Structures are given as structure tokens and as C-alpha cells.
Structure 1
């Protein structure tokens, strides 16, 4: 299986320039002195999450003829997502003038549904277990192009542009913490960081209630968790599981993976809001939860935490902040 390369990520960076925000590294002066901390705030992207990187690269990689035919025939693109990829594809499709149909699971935070519709996409709500099958059915019915949330080289390369920026801005980084769900972000960021900062460790972080990637890496093959089990975690954006493609990348680029509890995730959300004035959704706070609560399982040194998204319902945020 051919893995995404640093050259692929650099090509993606050229494609998405002007479409995504080059997010800064923000220092965290409250962090431990022997573990200096910087935050990569992907929650500041126009759609509130890193997913815009992969979606923009995937839409840009479609050849012009495919895009023109999609507009002329009303075919466009189809995506399935718990929310952030949905908004990302909707925005990228709008920028390219392509119709978008987005399949989202029932129970998705309303802020993510509203955000997707804001960019003109048609939203189809289905039970969580049916989102992929519904998306494939729409692809067949419409003759549309599928833009998967993580299982595609163009998506992985696009997400990897965040790692490219980390390496450019902080070549002396010693540890990068990144959330893991389907694995596209960790695959791309890990590929870029390991290529450009070979002395840095890259660790994935998962919720304990959706720790299928951790199980898979221990077993040496993809271990499937039932959908109902993965749906228990408060981190609604981390309920997917790796594919053979992303798992191959994770095995190649991750130095380790740790898990955190839902209570620890909520505490990390509070820390981000009160100490760095950053609003993070549960999925976006997962890597910081590892920094705060799993220090004994991680290398020490200069650390970057990827805050992957900030699309959280107001009611939940109010509850977390107390």
C-alpha cells in the first residue's frame, strides 16, 4: 500500500493556500516548566475545524472537467460526516460552485448541522450506522463524486498541511499530540512531522470509550468496535474508526497512542476556555486532556497539542464551564 508522502502534502499546501487559515502556534504560559506547551488552534479555521484542509485539497484535486460536469448535471459531491467534515465539504463545494449532499448522523450537534446548511449543502440525517451506506446510495443515484472524511490520499495529504506548518514554525518540537478517530489527521500530521522533525515523537490520543485505534495498534490489525460502543463518548467527532489506509499510516508515523476519559476531556475544554480563551469541542480538547492527565505515559519536552475543532453546542459548553 502506497502511503502519502511529504511531497504529496506540499502539493496539497499549494492547492489549499488561500482556502484555509495558516493557524499560528499559541504558547501556554501556564504549562509545566519541563513540558513547555504550544497549541495549534485549528478551531480558528473558517468552518471551525481542521477538516477544511482535507476537503479543500480533495475538491481542488478533482479535474476541471469533473467539476464542470457536476455543476451542469447537478451531480456534485457527496460526503458523510458527524459534522466537521460536512461543513468543510459544504464550504469547499460552495467555493468551487459544486452542489453538495451531506449525510449526517441523527444526534449531530445542531451547530454542525446549521453550519453545513449555511454553505448551501443539502443535509440528509440518518442513524449513525447508516451514514456510509446512505452516502454510497446517493453517489450511485446522483452520479456524484464521493469525498470521504479520511479514507483517501487527498484527504490525508490535506490534513497533513497542519503538520507542515508545525514543522515550519517549530522545527525543535519534541512531542506532537493529535486526536485519532478515522485517522486522517494523525496520518497526515504524523507524516509531515516525522519527515521534517525526525527527533520529534508523534502520539495519537483517543477517548477511552472509542479506543478502537489503540486496540488496533496493539493487535497489529484493524479491530472493529460496535457503533453503539463508539457512540458513548462525549467526543462526537471521534466516533469513526481507522480504515486499512489510515491504519497503515498510523502504524508508520505514530510513536504511541494514549486514551483519556470523558471527564478529562471536559476538564481540558475548561482549561482551553479559561486559560487560553479558546473554545474547543470535546474532540478538539482530547489531545490536551492527554497532556494534562497522561504525562507519565508521554515523552517530556517541548510539546504541540493540535486543537482540532471548536464546533460545540452552546448548551454543552455552558454545562462544561459550569
Structure 2
């Protein structure tokens, strides 16, 4: 499947057919206490229970399946703080391909261990002084490998969008329909893929993105109508969604289909992680809990009293860090 233009809902459908039996159908969860806390009816899609602990396996597998058999021995190179890294490493192992991942030196240990467990090779870099994109391109050129971007790639976007198709089908089976859906967003691969998915099966659902306060490039970009970058060195506990700016492809989709952005603080994210554990019995990593944090702490007034879908996108958090968050309660 080659793309001469932006991917469409039909491309997400094709990805879903391709990924049948290769990814896990994750549950949709609900709790009355969370509804009361938010002032809306929340339905939580637990992608933290996906293979490798996040939605990233969807896009990674869809992308690697596009690589011709003759090119697979040279392998792939990816850059990621962890979840995309694990998704690519797992997909590469399933397809018998070597994978090298460029990861920040401060990546959570659980994510590093996950990559290594699937046979992935790691090249660490410094977030503040090195460019992961440049490093990945250099290594790929040396090896004749293919670079697998973490979000700004049509096949990645369509693979991630299968979570949206699945979510909509689960809601329909329950006799429900989402008025809104909030998902964590870094580069926007998941959010834009979900928006494409819902455009064809639940067109009345408006997609919003959640992101760290002070790292709200999507909110600012949607407001200005152009891609806005985050200031270098801006930090948050939400390591999984600390991308510099929206991608070109993802923003082209998002500016047409997204409703807005919800910025969340680290404290609100920790509250959401505790709520996910207490009421849903799921482990949410900081970045993965951003949408739930937005719903519980700062839900936009337009969503009050509505049916709101929430994506908990990942659960890969170091045990010590997670125990520390839970013990703060």
C-alpha cells in the first residue's frame, strides 16, 4: 500500500484486516466513581493491556508488514523513549527481522528491558545534546536498514487507528455511542489514526488530545492553525508523549478532525494513575494516563454529562516509580 496523499478511513480498515490475530483486543472499562469524579460517563479503553503494554504494537506491526521479504534481513531502525521501541522490537521478532532502537539514556528501565527481551539492540542517546532522528538515519544508512518512525508515517497512523475501530465496535455492541474521545498525544499517531477510524464508523464522535502542561504543542497548534513546537528542555513525568511537535501528517489530519487539546499537570496525572489502579485495577504509565487525568481533573465543560471515551494508552512504568506514585495517596 503506497500513499500519495493522506491516509483515509479505508486504510485503517485495511490495517485492521492485516492485524487480525496479531494484536490483542483490549477491554473497555467503566466505574461509577470515575463518572462522578468527571461529571461525565467515562468508557476507558485499556490499551495498557495490549501486547508489549501499549498501543504501539499496532502501528509497528502494520508498518513492518509492508517491508518486502527481500529487504527484511537488513532489519529496521527506530527511535523511541520506549513504547514504540518495544512495539518495533516485538514486531521485528515476530517477522524474523533484526531491530535496533535509538533510546534516550533516561528511558524507563522497564521499557529498555522490554526491548532487550524481544532481541532488540539499543543505542542510547542524550535527549538534550543529540538528535535521535540523525542517529537513526546514520545507522540505517550503514546497515541498509529501514527507519520506522514513531508516529509520522501513514502505515503507523493506520495501525494505531485500529484501536479506534475496535473501541467503536465495542461501544456499539454495548448499545452506546461516544460523544467525545480523549486520547494521550505526543506526535499524534494514535490520535490521528483514531480520528480517521471514527470518521467512518462514529462520525459524531469528536476527538480531543491530552498532553502535559507546558508541553501542549497540540493545543497551541490547533489554536493557531500551524505546527507549534515545544521549548527545548521542557520536561514532564509523561515521558511517552514528550515529542518536540506534532508531525506533518498527523497535524494535517488533526487540524481537520480534532476538537482541541487538554493540558494536564504531573500531579493530575499521578491522581489518574492512582484512580486507574483503585477503580479499574489497571496499571497506567504517566503518559498513558494523560487522557484519564484530563477527564478526572479538567474535563472541558462541553463534555460534562456526555458519553466520553478515554484511551489509557500504555502501562509500562518502572515498579519503583509506580509504587512511589501509589504511596503518595
Moved over 6 A (4+): none
CA-to-aligned-CA distance 1:66-113 (integer Å, 9 cap, x gap): 22xxx2xxx200000000000000000000000001000110001100
Q: Pick from 289, 298, 307: which aligns with 1:302? A: 307
CA-to-aligned-CA distance 1:248-306 (integer Å, 9 cap, x gap): 11111111211111100110000001111110000111001111111244423111110
The answer (yes or no) to whether the contact 1:258–1:297 under 8 Å persists in 2 is: no
Q: Pick from 251, 261, 264: which aligns with 2:265? A: 261
Q: How many residues align?
A: 314
In structure 1, C-alpha distance between the alignment counterparts of 2:323 and 2:302, rounded to whole Å: 31
SS of 1:249's equivalent? Answer: helix
Alignment of 1:6-21 (within 5 A): 6-21=9-24
> Quick check: 83-92 or 171-180, which moved more?
171-180
Q: Which residue of 2 aligns with 1:127?
A: 126
In structure 1, C-alpha distance between the alignment counterparts of 2:229 and 2:260, rounded to whole Å: 19
Q: CA deviation at 1:2?
A: 2.4
SS of 2:35's equivalent? Answer: coil
In structure 1, C-alpha distance between the alignment counterparts of 2:207 and 2:230, rounded to whole Å: 24
In structure 2, C-alpha distance between the alignment counterparts of 1:17 and 1:199, rounded to whole Å: 26
Normalization by structure 2: what TM-score? 0.92
After superposition, the Cα gap between the structure-2 partners of 1:206 and 1:297, relative to the gap in structure 1 and judged at 3 Å, is: farther
Unpaired runs of 5+ residues, structure 2, are: none
In structure 1, C-alpha distance between the alignment counterparts of 2:112 and 2:253, rounded to whole Å: 30
The answer (yes or no) to whether the contact 1:210–1:238 under 8 Å persists in 2 is: no
Q: Which residue of 2 aligns with 1:63?
A: 68
CA-to-aligned-CA distance 1:135-175 (integer Å, 9 cap, x gap): 01111111101111001000000000000011111141111
After superposition, the Cα gap between the structure-2 partners of 1:66 and 1:52, relative to the gap in structure 1 and judged at 3 Å, is: same
Q: Which residue of 1 aligns with 2:167?
A: 166
Q: Does 1:24 align with 2:49?
A: no
The answer (yes or no) to whether the contact 2:161–2:196 under 8 Å persists in 1 is: yes
**RMSD (CA atoms):** 1.3
Normalization by structure 1: what TM-score? 0.94
Q: Pick from 220, 225, 242: which aligns with 2:246? A: 242
Q: CA deviation at 1:179?
A: 0.8
In structure 2, C-alpha distance between the alignment counterparts of 1:298 and 1:21, rounded to whole Å: 33
Q: Which residue of 2 aligns with 1:316?
A: 321
